[in-house]
């Protein structure tokens, strides 16, 4: 079953979406459905919307008739692949140019980026072009599913919004409802339980270079109790960047490895490994035992006299970091 919805706000740059409509969950392992969500961009324009993005949010709490509520952040999407037609088949964009966020994208009631600061030009000189984005749907596994078993479906709607480089809305679409059943007849043995969250001001961490001394000596910023972690089994904590570069709104880039990340146990002051930012998951620390509601200080820093930083243009360079926890 294919469900289709669309909203046209600009005839020259149109977005629509459709999905597979049905999510069966039958065990605490969760489920992944390949190519569940498709986002189609139809472009026939002489306007170049620079640094355009696509963001998504869940419209309302995910509840069923039993008034059970599915935790929104356990619903995730992951970029799979894309196809093009006509104009964009002749000027085929790379994944990096497309700006597709890599890794699992956890949903929320606020916006999460699917495409961020795309470098693909929307000026087709009036010729028609099409880009079709395919996303896998992921229902995160875990023992929490045992409490949500029900014959009654959980209904989900997403709002997808197309933004220009200044975060102005180009168009918006609300998907048709897709339904999920967490079957009572499934297999739900107890599984390991994890939680990880970035809190407080650490959700918008920053390193500021305001004097020549900052460039010469490097800068360092600590976010006390910025990371909260719990695990009932030995685990690893990792970090990665969801973008290939630190970028500005004017498309200037800075290598990720100019920024270093480290954790410090707030209770013991023990330091974790220090890693340079990368798009790959890098292990900050490994725990050989369970962690009960532990807090860590997040430390961001740069090296002294980093030539990449010293030679970069002034501006606000940013990326999105993903902290993950997994069994050891």
Residue 248 CA to its chain's centroid (Å): 18
Cα gap 36→74, rounded to integer Å: 16
Domain 3-187 has CATH 2.60.40: yes
Query: 116 near 243, Cβ under 8 Å?
Result: yes
Mean pLDDT of 72-95: 94
Q: What length is written for the chain?
A: 328
Please give the pLDDT value at position 92: 93
Average pLDDT, the chain: 90
Higher pLDDT residue, 190 or 2?
190
Give the pairing of strands 22-27 and 178-187.
parallel
| C-alpha dist (Å) from residue 145 to 40, 154, 188, 189 | 32, 12, 7, 10
Where residue 11 falls among pLDDT bands split at 50, 70, 90?
low
* Other C-beta atoms lying within 10 Å of the C-beta of residue 216: 11
Rounded to a whole number of angstroms, the CA Rg of the chain reads 22
Query: What DSSP string describes 103-142?
Result: SEEE--SS-EEEEEEE------TT--EEEEEEEEEEE--S
CA torsion 293→154→135→189, rounded to 10°? 50
pLDDT at residue 125, as a whole number? 93
Closest CA to 276 of 300, 260, 289, 296: 260
Q: What is the pLDDT of residue 191?
A: 62
The whole-number average pLDDT for the span 125-153 is 93
Q: Is the pLDDT of residue 17 over 80?
A: yes
- For residue 259, the model assigns a pLDDT of 95
Whether pLDDT at 4 is above 80:
no
Q: How far is the CA of 26 from the CAs of 23, 71, 119, 177, in angstroms?
A: 10, 17, 40, 20
Whose tokens are 């706000």? That residue is 9
Largest distance between two CA atoms of the chain: 65
Q: Where are the alpha helices (DSSP H) in the chain?
A: 87-90, 95-98, 212-217, 307-310
pLDDT for 1 equals 34
- In the chain, CATH 2.60.40 covers 3-187, 194-327
- Place 63 in a pLDDT band, splitting at 50, 70 and 90: very high
According to the model, what pLDDT value does residue 232 have?
Answer: 82
Return the minimum-mean-pLDDT range out of 40-49, 109-118, 195-204, 257-266.
195-204
pLDDT tens track for 287-296: 988 888 899 9
CA atoms of 218 and 220, how far apart (whole Å): 7
**Could you read off the pLDDT of 162-183 as tens digits, one per residue?**
999 999 999 899 998 999 999 9
Among residues 63, 85, 144, 79, which one has the least CA distance to residue 116? Answer: 79
Residue 6 has pLDDT above 90, yes or no: no
Confirm or reject CATH 2.60.40 for domain 194-327, answering yes or no.
Answer: yes
């Amino acid at each position: 079953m294919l469900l289709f919805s669309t909203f046209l706000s600009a005839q020259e740059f149109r977005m629509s979406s459709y999905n597979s409509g049905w999510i069966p969950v039958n065990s605490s392992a969760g489920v992944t459905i390949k190519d569940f969500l498709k986002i189609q961009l139809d472009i026939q324009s002489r306007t170049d919307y620079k640094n355009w993005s696509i963001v998504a949010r869940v419209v309302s709490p995910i509840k069923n008739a039993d008034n059970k509520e599915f935790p929104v952040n356990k619903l995730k999407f992951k970029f799979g692949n894309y196809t093009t037609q006509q104009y964009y088949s002749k000027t085929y964009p790379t994944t990096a140019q497309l700006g597709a966020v890599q890794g699992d994208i956890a949903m929320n009631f606020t916006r999460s980026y699917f495409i961020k600061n795309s470098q693909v030009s929307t000026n087709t000189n009036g010729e028609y072009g099409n880009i079709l984005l395919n996303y896998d749907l992921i229902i995160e596994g875990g023992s929490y599913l045992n409490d949500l078993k029900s014959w009654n479906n959980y209904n989900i709607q997403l709002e997808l919004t197309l933004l220009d480089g200044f975060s102005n809305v180009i168009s918006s679409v609300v998907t048709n409802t897709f339904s999920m059943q967490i079957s009572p007849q499934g297999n739900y043995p107890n599984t390991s339980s994890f939680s990880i969250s970035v809190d407080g001001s650490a959700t918008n961490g920053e390193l500021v270079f305001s004097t020549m001394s900052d460039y010469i000596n490097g800068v360092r910023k600590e976010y006390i109790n910025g990371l909260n972690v719990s695990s009932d089994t030995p685990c690893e904590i990792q970090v990665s960047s969801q973008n290939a570069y630190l970028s500005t709104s004017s498309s200037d880039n800075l290598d990720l490895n100019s920024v270093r990340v480290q954790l410090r146990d707030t209770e013991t002051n023990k330091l974790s490994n220090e890693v340079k930012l990368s798009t790959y998951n890098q292990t900050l620390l490994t725990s050989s035992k369970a962690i009960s509601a532990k807090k860590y200080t997040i430390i961001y820093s740069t090296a002294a006299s980093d030539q990449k930083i010293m030679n970069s243009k002034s501006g606000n360079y940013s990326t999105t970091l993903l902290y993950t926890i997994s069994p050891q």
